[in-house]
Protein backbone atom coordinates (compact mmCIF):
# COMPACT_ATOMS: atom_id res chain seq x y z
CA UNK A 1 0.00 0.00 0.00
CA UNK A 2 1.30 3.45 -0.93
CA UNK A 3 1.97 5.92 1.89
CA UNK A 4 -0.62 8.42 0.61
CA UNK A 5 -3.29 5.72 0.44
CA UNK A 6 -2.42 4.49 3.94
CA UNK A 7 -2.65 8.01 5.39
CA UNK A 8 -5.98 8.64 3.67
CA UNK A 9 -7.36 5.40 5.09
CA UNK A 10 -6.01 6.19 8.56
CA UNK A 11 -7.72 9.60 8.41
CA UNK A 12 -10.98 7.98 7.33
CA UNK A 13 -10.78 5.32 10.06
CA UNK A 14 -10.12 7.84 12.83
CA UNK A 15 -12.90 10.10 11.55
CA UNK A 16 -15.46 7.27 11.60
CA UNK A 17 -14.31 5.58 14.83
CA UNK A 18 -13.48 8.89 16.58
CA UNK A 19 -10.23 7.45 18.03
CA UNK A 20 -7.58 4.82 17.32
CA UNK A 21 -4.38 3.53 18.90
CA UNK A 22 -1.01 3.25 17.20
CA UNK A 23 -0.90 -0.52 17.77
CA UNK A 24 -4.40 -0.94 16.33
CA UNK A 25 -3.49 1.03 13.20
CA UNK A 26 -0.17 -0.77 12.80
CA UNK A 27 -1.96 -4.11 12.79
CA UNK A 28 -4.74 -2.88 10.51
CA UNK A 29 -2.38 -1.49 7.87
CA UNK A 30 0.47 -3.99 8.37
CA UNK A 31 2.95 -1.22 9.08
CA UNK A 32 5.42 -0.59 11.88
CA UNK A 33 4.36 1.52 14.84
CA UNK A 34 7.05 4.07 13.99
CA UNK A 35 5.57 4.42 10.49
CA UNK A 36 2.09 4.93 11.95
CA UNK A 37 3.41 7.56 14.38
CA UNK A 38 4.96 9.47 11.45
CA UNK A 39 1.68 9.22 9.55
CA UNK A 40 -0.26 10.55 12.54
CA UNK A 41 2.21 13.41 12.95
CA UNK A 42 1.76 14.40 9.29
CA UNK A 43 -2.02 14.12 9.53
CA UNK A 44 -2.01 16.30 12.65
CA UNK A 45 0.11 18.89 10.84
CA UNK A 46 -2.49 18.86 8.04
CA UNK A 47 -5.24 19.52 10.56
CA UNK A 48 -6.92 16.15 10.11
CA UNK A 49 -6.78 14.80 13.68
CA UNK A 50 -5.31 15.31 17.14
CA UNK A 51 -2.51 13.02 18.35
CA UNK A 52 -2.81 11.58 21.84
CA UNK A 53 -0.53 9.43 23.95
CA UNK A 54 -0.49 6.14 22.05
CA UNK A 55 -2.88 7.12 19.28
CA UNK A 56 -5.12 9.81 17.83
CA UNK A 57 -8.63 11.24 18.07
CA UNK A 58 -10.79 12.81 15.38
CA UNK A 59 -11.56 16.47 15.07
CA UNK A 60 -15.24 17.33 15.22
CA UNK A 61 -15.36 18.45 11.61
CA UNK A 62 -13.28 17.01 8.80
CA UNK A 63 -11.36 19.91 7.31
CA UNK A 64 -8.90 17.47 5.74
CA UNK A 65 -8.88 17.52 1.95
CA UNK A 66 -6.97 14.71 0.22
CA UNK A 67 -5.27 15.47 -3.07
CA UNK A 68 -6.77 14.27 -6.34
CA UNK A 69 -4.12 11.55 -6.64
CA UNK A 70 -4.79 10.36 -3.08
CA UNK A 71 -8.52 10.11 -3.72
CA UNK A 72 -7.99 8.50 -7.13
CA UNK A 73 -6.66 5.27 -5.59
CA UNK A 74 -9.34 4.99 -2.90
CA UNK A 75 -12.31 2.64 -3.45
CA UNK A 76 -11.54 2.32 -7.15
CA UNK A 77 -13.75 -0.74 -7.67
CA UNK A 78 -16.70 1.11 -6.13
CA UNK A 79 -16.13 4.13 -8.37
CA UNK A 80 -16.05 1.89 -11.43
CA UNK A 81 -19.44 0.40 -10.54
CA UNK A 82 -20.93 3.79 -9.73
CA UNK A 83 -19.78 5.27 -13.05
CA UNK A 84 -21.29 2.41 -15.05
CA UNK A 85 -24.66 2.91 -13.34
CA UNK A 86 -24.55 6.70 -13.61
CA UNK A 87 -23.85 6.63 -17.35
CA UNK A 88 -27.12 4.75 -17.86
CA UNK A 89 -28.90 8.00 -16.90
CA UNK A 90 -27.45 9.96 -19.85
CA UNK A 91 -29.53 10.34 -23.02
CA UNK A 92 -28.52 11.44 -26.56
CA UNK A 93 -28.60 15.18 -27.14
CA UNK A 94 -28.32 16.11 -23.47
CA UNK A 95 -26.04 18.69 -21.88
CA UNK A 96 -24.22 16.95 -19.04
CA UNK A 97 -22.18 18.59 -16.28
CA UNK A 98 -19.35 16.72 -14.53
CA UNK A 99 -17.84 18.36 -11.47
CA UNK A 100 -14.20 17.91 -10.48
CA UNK A 101 -13.75 14.65 -8.62
CA UNK A 102 -12.37 11.15 -8.91
CA UNK A 103 -15.77 9.46 -9.23
CA UNK A 104 -16.87 11.87 -11.94
CA UNK A 105 -13.49 11.29 -13.59
CA UNK A 106 -14.41 7.61 -13.77
CA UNK A 107 -17.55 8.59 -15.71
CA UNK A 108 -15.33 10.41 -18.20
CA UNK A 109 -12.99 7.43 -18.44
CA UNK A 110 -15.90 5.10 -19.26
CA UNK A 111 -17.68 7.63 -21.49
CA UNK A 112 -19.42 6.03 -24.48
CA UNK A 113 -22.22 8.46 -25.40
CA UNK A 114 -22.35 10.30 -28.72
CA UNK A 115 -24.12 13.54 -29.54
CA UNK A 116 -23.80 14.87 -26.00
CA UNK A 117 -22.32 18.13 -24.70
CA UNK A 118 -20.20 17.79 -21.56
CA UNK A 119 -19.45 20.77 -19.32
CA UNK A 120 -16.77 20.44 -16.64
CA UNK A 121 -14.54 22.45 -14.32
CA UNK A 122 -12.03 19.58 -14.09
CA UNK A 123 -8.76 19.72 -16.00
CA UNK A 124 -8.40 15.93 -15.70
CA UNK A 125 -11.87 15.24 -17.07
CA UNK A 126 -11.38 17.72 -19.92
CA UNK A 127 -8.08 16.05 -20.79
CA UNK A 128 -9.70 12.60 -20.72
CA UNK A 129 -12.52 13.67 -23.04
CA UNK A 130 -10.56 16.02 -25.31
CA UNK A 131 -9.83 13.38 -27.96
CA UNK A 132 -13.47 12.29 -28.33
CA UNK A 133 -14.79 13.48 -31.70
CA UNK A 134 -18.40 12.36 -31.18
CA UNK A 135 -19.23 14.94 -28.51
CA UNK A 136 -18.85 18.62 -27.61
CA UNK A 137 -16.74 19.67 -24.62
CA UNK A 138 -17.12 22.93 -22.67
CA UNK A 139 -14.46 23.86 -20.13
CA UNK A 140 -15.27 26.24 -17.29
CA UNK A 141 -12.63 28.84 -16.48
CA UNK A 142 -11.53 30.39 -13.22
CA UNK A 143 -8.79 29.97 -10.64
CA UNK A 144 -7.08 26.58 -10.83
CA UNK A 145 -6.75 24.49 -7.65
CA UNK A 146 -3.85 22.11 -8.18
CA UNK A 147 -4.89 19.98 -5.20
CA UNK A 148 -8.10 18.83 -6.88
CA UNK A 149 -7.56 19.79 -10.52
CA UNK A 150 -10.63 22.06 -10.38
CA UNK A 151 -11.31 25.54 -11.74
CA UNK A 152 -13.16 27.59 -9.11
CA UNK A 153 -13.97 31.16 -8.18
CA UNK A 154 -16.20 33.96 -9.53
CA UNK A 155 -15.38 33.31 -13.21
CA UNK A 156 -16.51 29.68 -12.98
CA UNK A 157 -19.61 30.66 -11.01
CA UNK A 158 -20.58 33.38 -13.51
CA UNK A 159 -20.21 30.95 -16.42
CA UNK A 160 -22.51 28.50 -14.67
CA UNK A 161 -25.05 31.28 -14.07
CA UNK A 162 -25.33 31.59 -17.87
CA UNK A 163 -25.80 27.85 -18.49
CA UNK A 164 -28.68 25.40 -18.40
CA UNK A 165 -27.81 21.69 -18.27
CA UNK A 166 -30.00 18.60 -18.32
CA UNK A 167 -28.11 16.62 -15.70
CA UNK A 168 -25.28 17.40 -13.28
CA UNK A 169 -23.14 14.70 -11.70
CA UNK A 170 -21.59 15.81 -8.40
CA UNK A 171 -19.18 14.12 -6.03
CA UNK A 172 -18.90 14.81 -2.29
CA UNK A 173 -16.46 14.30 0.56
CA UNK A 174 -19.22 13.89 3.12
CA UNK A 175 -22.78 12.54 2.97
CA UNK A 176 -25.23 12.66 5.87
CA UNK A 177 -28.98 12.92 6.30
CA UNK A 178 -28.80 16.71 5.99
CA UNK A 179 -27.11 16.65 2.58
CA UNK A 180 -23.60 16.71 1.11
CA UNK A 181 -20.43 18.54 2.13
CA UNK A 182 -16.94 19.31 0.83
CA UNK A 183 -13.81 20.73 2.53
CA UNK A 184 -13.17 23.81 0.37
CA UNK A 185 -15.47 26.88 0.33
CA UNK A 186 -14.55 27.82 -3.26
CA UNK A 187 -15.36 24.37 -4.57
CA UNK A 188 -18.57 24.34 -2.56
CA UNK A 189 -19.65 27.61 -4.19
CA UNK A 190 -19.04 26.20 -7.68
CA UNK A 191 -20.93 23.02 -6.82
CA UNK A 192 -23.87 25.11 -5.59
CA UNK A 193 -23.89 27.00 -8.89
CA UNK A 194 -23.93 23.63 -10.68
CA UNK A 195 -26.95 22.55 -8.66
CA UNK A 196 -28.82 25.72 -9.61
CA UNK A 197 -28.26 25.35 -13.37
CA UNK A 198 -29.25 21.67 -13.64
CA UNK A 199 -32.66 20.11 -14.27
CA UNK A 200 -31.51 16.93 -12.54
CA UNK A 201 -28.81 16.68 -9.88
CA UNK A 202 -27.17 13.29 -9.37
CA UNK A 203 -24.81 12.56 -6.49
CA UNK A 204 -22.16 9.95 -7.32
CA UNK A 205 -20.57 8.77 -4.07
CA UNK A 206 -19.66 5.43 -2.53
CA UNK A 207 -21.03 4.27 0.82
CA UNK A 208 -17.85 5.13 2.75
CA UNK A 209 -18.88 8.80 2.47
CA UNK A 210 -22.03 8.19 4.55
CA UNK A 211 -21.91 9.73 8.06
CA UNK A 212 -18.86 11.80 7.12
CA UNK A 213 -19.10 15.58 7.30
CA UNK A 214 -16.70 17.99 5.65
CA UNK A 215 -16.30 21.71 6.33
CA UNK A 216 -18.79 23.32 3.91
CA UNK A 217 -22.32 22.26 3.03
CA UNK A 218 -23.00 22.06 -0.71
CA UNK A 219 -26.66 21.04 -0.93
CA UNK A 220 -29.52 19.58 1.05
CA UNK A 221 -31.42 16.52 -0.13
CA UNK A 222 -34.25 18.78 -1.33
CA UNK A 223 -31.83 19.96 -4.03
CA UNK A 224 -30.65 16.49 -5.09
CA UNK A 225 -32.71 14.15 -7.26
CA UNK A 226 -30.70 10.93 -7.30
CA UNK A 227 -27.86 9.26 -5.41
CA UNK A 228 -25.91 6.61 -7.34
CA UNK A 229 -23.79 4.45 -5.02
CA UNK A 230 -21.89 1.18 -5.05
CA UNK A 231 -24.24 -0.96 -2.97
CA UNK A 232 -27.26 -1.05 -0.65
CA UNK A 233 -27.38 0.83 2.62
CA UNK A 234 -27.71 -1.20 5.84
CA UNK A 235 -31.35 -1.95 6.71
CA UNK A 236 -31.61 0.58 9.54
CA UNK A 237 -30.09 3.37 7.49
CA UNK A 238 -32.22 2.43 4.48
CA UNK A 239 -35.40 2.81 6.55
CA UNK A 240 -34.19 6.18 7.84
CA UNK A 241 -33.28 7.19 4.29
CA UNK A 242 -36.78 6.37 3.02
CA UNK A 243 -38.39 8.20 5.94
CA UNK A 244 -36.34 11.40 5.71
CA UNK A 245 -35.73 11.95 1.98
CA UNK A 246 -37.48 11.62 -1.36
CA UNK A 247 -34.23 11.13 -3.25
CA UNK A 248 -34.00 8.25 -5.70
CA UNK A 249 -31.30 5.77 -4.63
CA UNK A 250 -29.64 3.65 -7.33
CA UNK A 251 -27.00 1.04 -6.60
CA UNK A 252 -25.52 -2.29 -7.58
CA UNK A 253 -27.22 -4.82 -5.32
CA UNK A 254 -24.00 -6.89 -5.31
CA UNK A 255 -25.85 -9.90 -6.77
CA UNK A 256 -25.55 -8.75 -10.34
CA UNK A 257 -28.70 -6.59 -10.44
CA UNK A 258 -29.54 -2.96 -9.86
CA UNK A 259 -31.59 -1.48 -7.04
CA UNK A 260 -33.52 1.67 -7.78
The pTM score is 0.74
pLDDT at 256 (0 to 100): 42
Per-residue pLDDT of the chain (260 residues; tens, 9 = 90+): 678 778 888 988 887 787 889 999 999 999 999 999 999 998 887 767 778 778 888 765 445 566 666 666 677 899 999 999 999 999 999 999 999 999 999 999 999 999 999 999 999 999 999 999 899 999 999 999 999 999 999 999 999 999 999 999 999 998 988 899 998 889 999 999 999 999 999 999 998 888 788 888 899 999 999 999 999 988 878 788 888 899 999 998 754 444 55
pLDDT at 63 (0 to 100): 53
Helical H segments across the chain, by residue range? 3-17, 22-29, 33-45, 68-72, 76-87, 102-109, 123-129, 154-161, 185-197, 235-244
Contact 184, 65 (CB under 8 A): yes
CA distance 232 to 150: 30
Q: Which domains are delineated in the chain?
A: 3-58 (1.10.10.10), 69-259 (3.40.50.1360)
CA distance 48 to 65: 9
Amino acid sequence: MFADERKARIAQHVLVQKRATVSELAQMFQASESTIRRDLQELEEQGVLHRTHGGAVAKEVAAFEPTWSEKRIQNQEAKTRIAALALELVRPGQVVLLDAGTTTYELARQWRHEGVTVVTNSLDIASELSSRREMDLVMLGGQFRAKTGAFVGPFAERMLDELHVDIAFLGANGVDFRGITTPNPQEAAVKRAMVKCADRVVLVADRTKLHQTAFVRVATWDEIDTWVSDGPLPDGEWRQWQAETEVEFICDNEDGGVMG
